[in-house]
A and B are shown apart, each in its own frame.
Chain A
Amino acid sequence: AQSVSQHNHHVILSEAASLELGCNYSYGGTVNLFWYVQYPGQHLQLLLKYFSGDPLVKGIKGFEAEFIKSKFSFNLRKPSVQWSDTAEYFCWSGNSGYALNFGKGTSLLVTP
């Protein structure tokens, strides 16, 4: 079986600060990695995904994530956060045959 773990459950940043949310996966084979975002009162939306190729993946709204195979990591980054980035962020790993829980994710609060 496989799983992902997110290091921080609650993050508070000021606007314009840089963001990095940690995500580690436990699976030795090929993985497909995703970051989802859930804005307050809304449903989960796909932020970005990695299957293969360039390990630096760019998503919507200025977010990016880097797949580092040696560290089993897929951290989410944004150079300068905005108040509108306040949301829950979920890292998810997909491999055929399994549907996984998303867990609690990381709650990001951006203060003005």
Chain B
Amino acid sequence: DAGVIQSPRHEVTEMGQEVTLRCKPISGHNSLFWYRQTMMRGLELLIYFNNNVPIDDSGMPEDRFSAKMPNASFSTLKIQPSEPRDSAVYFCASSLGEGSHYGYTFGSGTRLTVV
């Protein structure tokens, strides 16, 4: 298995532009999580899906952020418009169930820089 695949690995964009981050979970995993990591806040949960349905999006910082999971093998996290304070590493993770028994498998992350 190729693991959790995220793209792009690095993204540099100008303030105000739309940014789309992509994630392909491990085949057979039915939960998917989006995390954001910064020095100040550590690793924060933004949103998670179970069976393609958003379960908890309370961590999404504001309306500029949106996430979708149109099918079991693909999810996107979109920021529109982007701001410099959105600069961070965004990780996607997947698991069987909620991950409480098996844990999460993380992707390699997308390093986003908004200038």
Contacts and interface: CB of A to CB of B under 8 A. Distances in A.
A101 B43 contact: yes
Give the size category of B's interface with A: 20 to 34
Interface string A70-112: 0000000000000000000010101111111111110000000
Contact of B98 (A42, A45, A90, A97): A97
B38 to A, nearest CB: 10
Given A94-B98, A97-B98, A99-B56, A46 B103 contact: yes
A101 B44 contact: yes
Nearest to B100: A94
A73 B93 CA distance: 26
Contacts of A94: 98-101, 103
Given A34-B103, A43-B108, A44-B104, A101 B98 contact: no
User: Is chain A's interface secondary structure helix, strand, loop, or mixed overall?
Assistant: loop
Contacts of A99: 31, 33, 45, 48, 55-56, 98-99
Interface residues of A, number: 24
Given A94-B99, A94-B101, A103 B48 contact: no
A42 B45 CA distance: 18
Interface in A7-43: 32, 34, 36, 42-43
